[in-house]
Amino acid sequence: MILLDNVLFGPAGYPEAAKGKIERVFEILREVGLDALEYAAVHGLRTSVEIAQKIGELADKNGITMSMHAAYYIQLASKSEDIRERSKERLKKALRFAPLMRVKRIVFHPGTHGGMPPDESYTVIRDAIQEVWEEAGPKGEGAVLAPEIAGKIGAFGSADEIIRLCSDLEGVIPTIDWAHLYARSQGRINNRESYSHILEMFENALEELFVDNMHFHVSGIIFTEAGERSHKPLGESWGPDILPLVELVSELGYKPTFISETPNPITGALYAKFLLEELEKTRQ
């Protein structure tokens, strides 16, 4: 597990301005004052060993804490046994590549319920993650699996389901996507009281496992009755308002990593960092 001394901020994916040039990615992060990067393997981990090693070396050189978002199309409870197996292989590959890239958290969506009742799908998903960890966990050299709260109400990934996975399994920590929670709750998780309730839920259930390994996704979001529709910039007319969350982080001394999933993720990460810095000034 990774124990952080500071709150970290970074984008999901490479900055557009880097034009895919790996050295430039890390230069931009350093130039703007960000210290985290979530490598986007959302369409599959297609990089070579050589490139993965280069990413890791550049992360070390520039002081960037790395995470990875695994493929969107992981479906651990699929009706198709082939899809289940390929989903597990994607997570195993991510664990194998993690040390090369200095990745400490592998974020992923377990998928849908696969047409099963929630309790049945939970068992299938839990057992699949356990199999992945038993086979490939040591190859991650300290990297952990970080299942994420889902934005679609019908998908596996409620706060309770993520907490249950992390309680039941070794090598698993939660990723709280606050925009997804906002969408799942139909806009209700959007103020100090509701943010505090969620943080208390996770801390009471997982204790140091959660507090020492906080990994947050933030963005604006538009939602429908089914949940998330599309991600949007932070600080505009749509929710969620992350200021109450940042206030709690500042007051309670939490040290999360904030990953921005806004359309321009650098701007989103800088916005979240700005909020915390301004709050810290008032506390001095």
Query: What is the CATH number for 138?
Result: 3.20.20.150
Asked, for residue 1, whether it belongs to a domain, the answer is no
Residue 138 lies in a domain: yes
- Domain count for the chain, please give it: 1
- The DSSP result for 151-168, as a single string, is SBTTBS--HHHHHHHHHH
Predicted local confidence at residue 282, as pLDDT: 82
In a domain, 55, yes or no: yes
Other beta carbons less than 10 A from residue 44's beta carbon: 12
Residue 29, phi then psi, degrees to nearest 5: -60, -45
Residue 155: domain span: 8-283
Low-confidence ranges of the chain (pLDDT < 50): none
Q: What is the helix (H) or strand (E) element at residue 229, kind and residue range? A: strand 227-232
Scanning the chain, the segments in alpha helix (DSSP H) are 22-32, 49-62, 81-101, 118-136, 159-168, 178-184, 192-206, 208-211, 243-252, 265-283
The answer to whether residue 3 is domain-embedded is no
Q: Examine residue 19 and state whether it is found in any structural domain, yes or no.
A: yes
Query: Has residue 63 been placed in a domain?
Result: yes
pLDDT for position 198: 98
pLDDT of residue 2: 55
Q: What is each CA distance from 263 to 60, 110, 117, in whole angstroms?
A: 27, 23, 34
- The whole-number pLDDT of residue 3 equals 54
Q: How many C-alpha atoms does 126 have within 13 Å on its Cβ side?
A: 16
pTM for the whole structure:
0.96
Sorted by sequence, the CB contacts under 8 Å of residue 205 that are 6+ apart come out as 163, 166, 167
How much is the pLDDT for 105? 98
Position of tokens 């090693």?
A: 53
Radius of gyration for the chain, computed over Cα atoms and rounded to the nearest angstrom: 18
215 inside domain: yes
Residue 195 placed within a domain: yes
What's the pLDDT at 117? Answer: 96
